[in-house]
Structure 1
Amino acid sequence: MIGYQAFADLSQSSDSNERGHAAHLAALAYLDHRGPADEHAALYAALIGFLDDPSVKVRAALAYGLLHSPDAPRPIIVAMLGDSPIISRAVLQYSPLLVDADLLPIVRSGDVATLAAVAERRVLSLRLVSALVARGEDELTIGLLRRPEVPFGAALLDSLAAGKGADAKMRGALLCRPDLPASARLVLVRRATESLRECRMVKGALAPERLERLLRDGTDNALTVIGETASDDTAFVDGLVGSDQLNTRLLLQAMVTGHVMFFSACLASLAQLSREKVFVLLENGSRPALNALFLRCGLDPAISRLLVRLIMLARTADLSDDVAARHYVVTALTEELIAEYDGDIPPELEEAFSYLSAQNVTLARQAARGVMRAFAESSTGVLALPLIEDEPQLQLPAA
């Protein structure tokens, strides 16, 4: 409690610390006021008076008392936006009274420190985020991207991926967003692939052919994983079909890795059929029905027959999780092709056969990892080795 006259004397003191104390007391008393209306009006007038105090300490004490409250007088909060930077930035960051119309003009013309203060607000609208990103301050944008509660919107994320995806830090922040659209994620994966391709350390560690194969396989696998996650996104799949990004290799990759939803979505888009009908055909359709589906998709007859065989084999195994099952299916399919054509694979199947052969090697390696160690840990027997007959030592003439 403090008397009216004592408070008036404190407010008129020549000591800025005492005036600052009075300003802070007035702010707290105004926000928690439960007395008569004339007292409330007098407190409001006192707050207005402190706005013109020559000492920044006094005005800062006033701001500190008001800036977190939704009940603070709006004229005072707005006036503080034009105060010294230490006060205006605090108000920008914390005051819940400010609306987008208050903040947008400041964002469009403010310096980096001012933008950073706005970017630290607890709640940001998509409109405000778009204005902040439009200023082109990459570190600021990365900080916003790393806050999952900040709204970005699909269009803004697509724009950032296309325009800033070459930067590794920006790419990482974008890829961590749970709301990143599938189209933007695919763009970023391809940018990452290009960065790896041009990295001197990577180029020096791998032969060019092997590096290209690894990057191509990784990109294809990433596309099918993204497509499986976004299989309900008709625009994404239709975009792949419309831009001719789908090919036999990707269809095989999707099926071999167990990404059946993406595979069926691609076929539905190509054949202009419902996804439900395509999925039922893949699950239970006969060979003629499946062949007709693939021909309707515009695939080569030989490729259609190959995919029919793959689906029939895949129905007997779980390709989504079991690497050994994938290896079995690809091995069986490859052997069937060799047997059918007596080793003379036709030209229209050469690309698909090469892909299956390469996948067979990769899957064999994956399936074999740890098998012997697991066997050795669970068995107590002795490994029988063939006897090696002694051969005469080769005698070389003295040098």
Structure 2
Amino acid sequence: MIVRNFLSWAQTAPAAQRAEGAGALARAYLYSDLDAHARRETEIALMSLLDDPSPLVRKALADNFASAADAPHAIVSALASDQSDIASPVLSRSPLLTEAELIDCAAIGDAFAQSAIALRAYVPAGVCAALAEVGAREAAISLAVNPGADLPEFSMRRMVERFGDDGEMREALLSRPWLPATVRNDLVNATAASLTAFVVDCGWLTGERAKRLTREARDKANVIIVAEAAERDGRQGVRDLVAHLRASNQLTATLVLRALLSGNRDLFEAALAELSGLREERVAGLVRDFRGAGFAALYARAGLLEKYLPAFRAALEAQREYADVNGGEAKLSLVMIERVLTACEEINGGELDKLMALLRRFEMEAALEEARIEAARFAAEAEAARIIATAQAPEIVAPAAFNDSFSSAPAFEIAIDMASIEAELMPEAA
């Protein structure tokens, strides 16, 4: 009788009062000790409220049933398919919605509803895949930042493919605690493509120069990614990344040589195994005897340029001699590059000119990196000395006077000094 009176009253009551009554009826269903008959009548009344023309009424039902495990499933399903501001509480919290229902709601929902699904405490892999495929940008970002999302690797790569030009999307994926090396590579490529398009459109660089700088920056990043993959996932992680690089046409002789000159032998061996089809153990044995005919045969089977074989042998020799020169860091080694340059100069009859130019660019990059490190160390030492001197005898130290005397120096003298430094650090490419 009470439920019937409620329905009769709801036909003429204002929307705000109907919404308040709907919330009270929902709470009575969830928390009151109703007998079976009264519970059934209450459920019928709640179902009838789904047709209420005011969204306030349906919003009251959604707010009360959103987290309830014993709410009527049919009502929850209907609310999940309502307009997004009503559906969102249910989509984001309801434990009753199945994976299939969430996928269906993601397919028909707008960005607001999709984001609500993406931010659930736990998002199954199937729902993640659906959102990665059809979700709006906002939903993809919400999914990427959600640690409770069981986000498969292929879904991450699909998100990069769809929204890789969006900086917020890339940052969201990078914030995840575990990111496969292949996805990191895709993010590097997406970032490089966005930056290249930007600088070319602004007229800051020509298209060809921008492409070369992008390619070199991408190779540098890939060497770092390979080193991290080897440390985290072992040889299998490196092999998976190398297969991805080959499939995306990024596995080049330039990248492999850069890796060797950065002290990273894992990428070189994995690349030879991928290109030759031989087992990794067999490849590793042939690489250890890099002066022998077996290594030359492996090199040829991998399809690498025969004329560059001496450079790779010299790089392997230098790596053996300077194994720990970088202290484990994935960066070009200046001493190893100089060793390879010397070896190539001795045999170059003109056919290695392009390789020599590449090695000169490597040499410039490594020299600049070492200069930056040394400059930072000198600055840190000078600052530490100034702090100690100030503490011991404050009246002796006068940094302001020093700065004034430096700033009064003729500009052309400073320019000459800088030009001489750059000339030593950046030799011209052959």
What is the alpha-carbon distance in structure 2 between the residues aligned to residue 239 and residue 85 of structure 1?
Answer: 39
Offset of 1:357 from its aligned partner? Answer: 1.6
Using the size of structure 1 for normalisation, the TM-score is 0.73
> Is the aligned partner of 1:274 residue 2:273?
no
Change (3 A) 1:190 1:57: closer
Structure-1 residue corresponding to 2:289: 285
Structure-1 residue corresponding to 2:390: none
Matches within 5 A, 1:59-78: 60-78=59-77
Structure-1 residue corresponding to 2:372: 369
> Which residue, 306, 328, 340 being the options, matches 1:333?
340
Offset of 1:249 from its aligned partner? Answer: 1.6
* Cα displacement string for residues 104-143 of structure 1 (whole angstroms, at most 9, x for unaligned residues): 4443334444434434433333333343444462233233
Change (3 A) 1:49 1:189: same
Offset of 1:159 from its aligned partner? Answer: 3.2
What is the alpha-carbon distance in structure 1 between the residues aligned to residue 174 and residue 8 of structure 2?
Answer: 57
Offset of 1:253 from its aligned partner? Answer: 0.5
Structure-2 residue corresponding to 1:137: 136
Offset of 1:250 from its aligned partner? Answer: 1.7
Change (3 A) 1:271 1:324: closer
> Is the aligned partner of 1:350 residue 2:369?
no
Change (3 A) 1:173 1:348: farther
> Is the aligned partner of 1:126 residue 2:125?
yes
Q: SS where residue 98 of structure 1 aligns?
A: coil
What letter corresponds to residue 278 of structure 2 in structure 1? L
> Is the aligned partner of 1:359 residue 2:394?
no
Q: Is the 1:228–1:260 contact (alpha carbons within 8 Å) kept by the matching residues of 2?
A: no
Matches within 5 A, 1:207-356: 211=210, 213-230=212-229, 232-233=236-237, 234-241=239-246, 245-282=250-287, 284-285=288-289, 287-288=291-292, 290-317=295-322, 318=324, 319=326, 321=328, 326-338=333-345, 340-341=346-347, 345-356=348-359
What is the alpha-carbon distance in structure 2 between the residues aligned to residue 180 and residue 41 of structure 1?
Answer: 54
Structure-2 residue corresponding to 1:391: none
Matches within 5 A, 1:118-197: 118-135=117-134, 137-177=136-176, 181-197=180-196
Q: Is the 1:92–1:117 contact (alpha carbons within 8 Å) kept by the matching residues of 2?
A: yes
Offset of 1:240 from its aligned partner? Answer: 4.0
Offset of 1:310 from its aligned partner? Answer: 1.4
Offset of 1:154 from its aligned partner? Answer: 3.0
Q: Aligned residues: percent identity?
A: 28
Structure-2 residue corresponding to 1:388: none
Offset of 1:358 from its aligned partner? Answer: 1.5
Q: Is the 2:182–2:241 contact (alpha carbons within 8 Å) kept by the matching residues of 1?
A: yes
Q: Is the 1:63–1:80 contact (alpha carbons within 8 Å) kept by the matching residues of 2?
A: yes
* Cα displacement string for residues 162-190 of structure 1 (whole angstroms, at most 9, x for unaligned residues): 34434444444445556655445434433
What is the alpha-carbon distance in structure 2 between the residues aligned to residue 241 and residue 325 of structure 1?
Answer: 22
Using the size of structure 2 for normalisation, the TM-score is 0.69
Q: SS where residue 121 of structure 1 aligns?
A: coil
Offset of 1:221 from its aligned partner? Answer: 1.3
How large is the RMSD of aligned CA atoms in angstroms?
4.1
Offset of 1:218 from its aligned partner? Answer: 0.6
Q: SS where residue 71 of structure 2 aligns?
A: coil
Structure-2 residue corresponding to 1:393: none
Structure-1 residue corresponding to 2:401: none
What is the alpha-carbon distance in structure 2 between the residues aligned to residue 324 and residue 185 of structure 1?
Answer: 18
What is the alpha-carbon distance in structure 2 between the residues aligned to residue 297 and residue 73 of structure 1?
Answer: 63
What is the alpha-carbon distance in structure 2 between the residues aligned to residue 166 and residue 187 of structure 1?
Answer: 11
In terms of Rg, which structure is larger?
A: 1
Change (3 A) 1:157 1:167: same
What is the alpha-carbon distance in structure 1 between the residues aligned to residue 26 and residue 138 of structure 2?
Answer: 36
Change (3 A) 1:174 1:43: same
Whose helix proportion is higher, 1 or 2? 2
Matches within 5 A, 1:90-109: 90-109=89-108
292-301 vs 88-97, which moves further:
292-301
